[in-house]
Structure 1
């Protein structure tokens, strides 16, 4: 809250030149840190209480020492790493947290997307408006010279990049709420009465983080199955001990849902990866499997009708990033249209205490 207040005051006081320099300062910090991570310099900094001289660091990564001086100064002024003496450095808590095996994975993903943002002017000059909605003509595919393939097809070309993406998404997931919206625990009596029906089917559920969180309020799934569905590359990487009480199965969300009449079908942070017509196609595959009292719950962010100056930026930078890979955060009106086209109706919106994240409870459309 204090940070939001500070942003609002700054917006009132800053002059245009101040705004531009602040934006460029952020770009410079990102550029310096990206360079130092990718050339291996950040991994050469000691974390055992000793330090390394700039000249030795430059030799270790085979670049000119002045490049080390200049890049390190930029991150040091932001509190990333510690200068123990003139041109001599060591890790601190923040720099360790920004290594690729920690929050640095998310940072590197953001940097990759920022490269694509730099190509947006040329993309829009050379493409028809409708190309933006073509999965094989995304700005990302254009930026890397691989149009004709989707973002995820391109991503799978590079194992290292895919691993960075997986680590980044797992980190992001930890900062997105699951609990405190739809009351899964309220279905206890219903699930115990019909345990032969799956309790929750988590479509595209990654490494089971949502089902693990749901179990905190619903121990053992109240005797009903908790089913995790995702692609082979995800499911085959899971160990049983990582997903207790969860049945992991391979499923392509563009094919008919094999689990019939579950109590809940769950789509968390998935539909925002696609434009509206594709979302309708995806949902129809599950709608066909729903029973009369099945619930289909979507967890995503809602774009408000107007922008408020100084509010947290997460929703907006995420939405622009999704545009690069053929995705979109949506308004409540858009969700109404998607649900209606898929044969669903919205029952209730459950907000969270974190940003714009909500859960949308839907059911099969009732006929009058």
Structure 2
């Protein structure tokens, strides 16, 4: 949106013009808003002394840790939404030391998460209320408890294990950090009911906020395909509780053809029948039983696995494909140098998510990574269907 070179005053004028345009547009365009935030961040960076900026990392780190601690103490939900509460009152309510509440709150009032309205007296802001209302808070807790605690030990991990990228689901920073080398992430957290419950809640809430629609136009791309009476239209592989197929059906009710939802039996048995959707137990590491479907759809699965595991998944699907079948993979695409940024803004999600995947053996992938994987499986990347101002995509691949 604005240049990070040239006079500071010129950069400010460019940002001011963009803000005025944003206000005229009704302040509803997400791409414009994110672009403005990133422009202001670039301006702030130019004003910082590089050595002083090192200490910004401490601010971010302590803010994150204190927020997680306050969530554990149930402080955000204890403060009335439209009233204030003193540290003494909070301490009595949550069973903590008054001095502890004061110390945890200090940085969070300065950074604007909470508001200090009097001596050691606090009130909510829109940012603290988000920890009561947003699905993201469950994912925040999971990232702090399972990912941050292990990534913070990477220097020790590199000294002890070696300076290696993670290529294993059972030998990685997460397994090492839990003293459980040889076990996967799921095997480790499943030993603790609290941890597996937190994971299940975080994944279900996170999945509800990540887009299914707005990328691949199922309604137009699959309209009028042949033989829908004998060939399934969409097979949703590893599709969980059917949230993707339900959204597709709602958006395009006139689509013709069978919709099949595949997942492990324990998943499919956990919810009732879905109208117009056939449940089918299936492990995606075994041969695909549905032949000649028009679309084999897999959303938010590949990033959990190593390249070798992803290749095995593809190798189970390819033999089942007809010459005009397509594989649709809903995943992020990490930008490379000079590659397309939807909306000309940088979506940071793919970078921190890749770090999370690194911890237990998965990864987010670049376009080059995807092309290489598809080619190895006998496929070709036809198109990347991108969402606006986001790394979320649907990658379309067909037989080579």
- TM tier relative to shorter chain: 0.7 to 0.9
Cα distance in 1 between the residues matched to 2:357 and 2:172: 10
Q: CA 1:301–1:231 in 2, change beyond 3 Å: closer, same or farther?
A: same
SS in 2 for 1:197: coil
Provide the residue aligned with 1:267 in structure 2. 298
Cα distance in 2 for residues equivalent to 1:58 and 1:134: 45
Query: 1:69 and 2:102 equivalent?
Result: yes
1:133 to partner: Cα distance? 0.9
Q: Which ranges of 4 or more aligned residues in structure 1 deviate by more than 6 Å?
A: 307-310
RMSD: 2.7
**1:286/1:25 Cα in 2 relative to 1: closer, same or farther (>3 Å)?**
same
The TM-score normalised by the length of structure 2 is 0.81
1:297 is matched with 328
Contact 2:347 2:391 in 1 (8 A): no
**Structure 2 residues not aligned, in runs of 5+:** 1-34
Which of these residues, 257, 282, 299, is aligned with residue 224 of structure 1? 257
* Structure 1 contact 203–267 (Cα < 8 Å) conserved: yes
What's the offset of the Cα at 1:348?
Answer: 2.3
Counterpart of 1:96 in structure 2 is 129
Shift of 1:78: 3.5
1:142 Cα shift?
1.1
TM-score of the superposed pair, with normalisation by structure 1: 0.87
Q: Per the alignment, in what secondary structure is the counterpart of residue 350 of structure 1? A: strand
Partner of 1:181: 215
Match 2:358 to one of 323, 336, 355: 323
Post-superposition shift, 1:166?
Answer: 3.0
Work out whether residues 4 and 312 of structure 1, in 8 Å CA contact, stay in contact via their aligned partners in 2.
Answer: no
Instruction: Say which SS state the counterpart of residue 381 (structure 2) adopts.
Output: strand
State whether residues 132 and 326 of structure 1, in contact with CA within 8 Å, keep that contact through their aligned partners in structure 2.
yes
The 3 A distance-change label for structure 1 pair 94 and 248 is farther
Q: Could you say which residue in structure 2 is the equivalent of 1:351? A: 386
Deviation of residue 36 (structure 1)?
A: 1.0
**What SS class does the counterpart of residue 219 from structure 2 fall into?**
helix
Do the aligned partners of 2:262 and 2:282 also contact (CA within 8 Å) in 1? yes
Greater alpha carbon shift after TM alignment, 227-236 vs 32-41: 227-236
Summarize the alignment of residues 103-252 of structure 1 with structure 2, pairs less than 5 Å apart. Answer: 103-112=136-145, 113-128=147-162, 132-186=166-220, 187-190=222-225, 193-219=227-253, 222-240=255-273, 243-252=274-283
- The DSSP-based 3-state class of the residue aligned with 1:177 is coil
Whole-Å Cα distance in 2 between the matches of residues 250 and 285 of structure 1? Answer: 15
C-alpha separation in 1, matches of 2:40 and 2:241: 37
Provide the secondary structure at the position in 2 that maps to 1:353.
coil
Contact 1:100 1:108 in 2 (8 A): no
Counterparts in 2 of 1:144 and 1:233: CA distance versus 1, 3 Å: farther
Q: CA deviation at 1:40?
A: 3.0
Q: What are the Cα deviations for residues 84-103 of structure 1, in whole angstroms up to 9, with x where unaligned?
A: 54333454543332149732
Contact 2:228 2:256 in 1 (8 A): no
Which residue does the alignment assign to 1:360? 395
Measured in 1, the distance between the counterparts of 2:338 and 2:42 equals 13
The separation in 1 between residues aligned to 2:312 and 2:214, in whole angstroms, is 29
Q: How many residues align?
A: 360
Following superposition, the deviation at residue 328 of structure 1 comes to 1.1
Cα distance, 1:172 vs structure 2: 3.3
